[in-house]
Amino acid sequence: MLFTAIPDIASKARRTITIAIAAALGAGVVVAVQQTASAAEATLGAAAAQSGRYFGAAIAAGRLGDSTYVNILNREFNSVTAENEMKWDATEPQRGNFNYNNANRIVNHAIGQGKSIRGHALLWHQQMPGWAQGLSGSDLRNAAINHVTQVATYFRGKIHSWDVVNEAFADGGGGGRRDSSLQRTGNDWIEAAFRAARAADPGAKLCYNDYNTDGINAKSTGIYNMVRDFKARGVPIDCVGFQSHLTNSAPSDYQANLQRFADLGVDVQITELDISGSNQANAYAAVTRACLNVARCNGITVWGIRDSDSWRTGQNPLLFDASGNKKAAYTSVLNTLNSVTPNPSPTPTPTPTPTPTVTPTPGPGGPCRVAYTLNAWNTGLTSSITITNTGSSAINGWSLVFGLPSGQTITSGWNATYSPSSGQVTARNVSYNGSIPAGGSVDIGFQANHTGNTSAPSSFTLNGNTCSRA
């Protein structure tokens, strides 16, 4: 069983099909034909996983009792976002009193179904609780940073990517920040939030998320300049989310815009995709294609499941109609995802020429270092692993072998493929993280079931070299 990056799994990129033909040629003669078929995955999640990407949906806790909705969710998507349940007003309705009931309904459903989770959103000028709307200055700043710390700590290890700050840039030509009470606490509020989030959940990718940033324009350029500045100054940012609430088409420079952010050294994610208008199916295909064409585009989330679930009432911008039927836009997305050259199974880790007599020469401090964090609950656990190349040259293509303690079984993972699911496990790179520069690191992780033993793996080797533990 192969576990691909971010759930749904078991998608073999290529399958060998044995077709037995009971020939009419002669009684009892059976001819076995070996045939290799190209992958054509049947669901969005499995199709995206062929290239190590996720395909997610925003979901609402209040709809988890709707069987049509839940059937589509369970079948099609391998990542979920809480549409409203992780926002500030939902999670901290009174100052210092946190309520995660509805968020946990989503988290528990996702974990139970082997789906990964995008966190949305720690700080946003909208959907702030009433008490926070009444604050300003250092009182608001302290409350905001405390909120980031508390919520990111609470969900630590369960979120693959967090929208740390949402919609902080202004529309229009200036490319500057939006005026808000948060902005008036000082221009450094965004970096303070990212630093607090990193300290609280070091395993999550930290994203800045916004809308009307889907092409190269003044607003997206303002964000681009902020990300470049953050990278230059070591402010912890890992990804930029492009909401992509579109009408009829994506801007012609949509892919180029994603790529210019990726070139800054951050991942990009399509975070709230919905598209209205008569050109919908083509536009969905174009957005999907753009993500596939950008190596650092990790995945796509659509903002709802059926048209009747959409916040854009009456615009029918989603992939399923109100009855739960697949629309033409669904088919165009699925076909586009399936058109990629699948990440073969196993992942194309270049097989090193066997040189058994040559001992690998570790760089200063050894070839690799692994930091491992584990967050366990009664029957499950989430593990985050940071692999650091401590050698003096880049690693191109990697596999990390570790022994999973007995009773632990991997159910899903991100940023690597995991095979087999128990015992001696090999995690292999996916398309976008195969190269680790000297001194660089990659973050991977998985969710597993356990039967009581929640200890950490006993040893890690990277491409055959034993790694030190951080």
Interface positions with ligand XIL (CB under 6 A):
83-84, 121, 166, 243, 272, 311
CA 172 to CA 245: how far, in whole Å?
17
352, 465 in Cβ contact below 8 A? no
Supply the minimum distance, in Å, between the C-beta of residue 83 and ligand XIL.
5
230 CA to centre of own chain: 21
Question: 306 to each of 176, 269, 321, 364, how far by Cα in Å?
Answer: 35, 21, 5, 54
Q: Which of 25, 110, 79 is nearest to 205 (CA)?
A: 79
Length of the chain: 470
**Active-site annotation holds for 76:** no
**311 or 372, CB closer to ligand XIL?**
311
Supply the minimum distance, in Å, between the C-beta of residue 403 and ligand XIL.
41
Supply the minimum distance, in Å, between the C-beta of residue 222 and ligand XIL.
18
CA 105 to CA 79: how far, in whole Å?
15
Q: Which of 466, 439, 441 is nearest to 360 (CA)?
A: 466
For ligand XIL, the nearest residue by Cβ is 311
366, 456 in Cβ contact below 8 A? no
Amino acid at 450: H
Does residue 354 sit in helix, strand or coil? coil
Supply the minimum distance, in Å, between the C-beta of residue 368 and ligand XIL.
38
Catalytic residue among 76, 83, 92, 272: 272
**49 or 110, CB closer to ligand XIL?**
110
- Bond prior to 121 in cis (omega within 30° of 0): yes
Question: 169 to each of 119, 175, 187, 223, 250, how far by Cα in Å?
Answer: 20, 7, 12, 7, 20
**63 or 156, CB closer to ligand XIL?**
63
Catalytic residue among 76, 83, 85, 167: 167
**166 or 375, CB closer to ligand XIL?**
166
**102 or 166, CB closer to ligand XIL?**
166
Supply the minimum distance, in Å, between the C-beta of residue 59 and ligand XIL.
11
**Active-site annotation holds for 272:** yes
Does residue 175 sit in helix, strand or coil? coil
Supply the minimum distance, in Å, between the C-beta of residue 267 and ligand XIL.
18
Task: List residues with catalytic annotation.
Answer: 167, 272
